[in-house]
């Protein structure tokens, strides 16, 4: 999940910056849990 946030932060687009900002405001544990559920 951290790689996704870092990739978004490296992107200069408004969408990527907004999305990275939104992800940083969420619970890190829940982001990892949800991401793992999606991957399965």
Domain ranges of the chain: 2-39
Cβ count within 10 A of residue 8? 19
Instruction: Note the pLDDT tens digit of each residue in 27-38.
Output: 999 999 999 999
Dihedral sign from CA coordinates of 10, 12, 15, 19? positive
- To the nearest 10 degrees (0 to 180), the angle between helices 2-10 and 14-24 is 150
Q: Considering the entire predicted model, what is its pTM?
A: 0.72
Position 1 scores a pLDDT of: 84
Residue in this structure with the two tokens 């992107």, named with its chain if needed? 11
Confidence tier at 17 by pLDDT (50, 70, 90): very high
């Amino acid at each position: 999940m951290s790689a996704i946030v870092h990739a978004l932060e490296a992107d200069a687009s408004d969408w990527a910056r907004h999305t990275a900002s939104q992800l940083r405001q969420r619970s890190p544990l829940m982001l990892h849990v949800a991401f793992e559920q999606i991957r399965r």
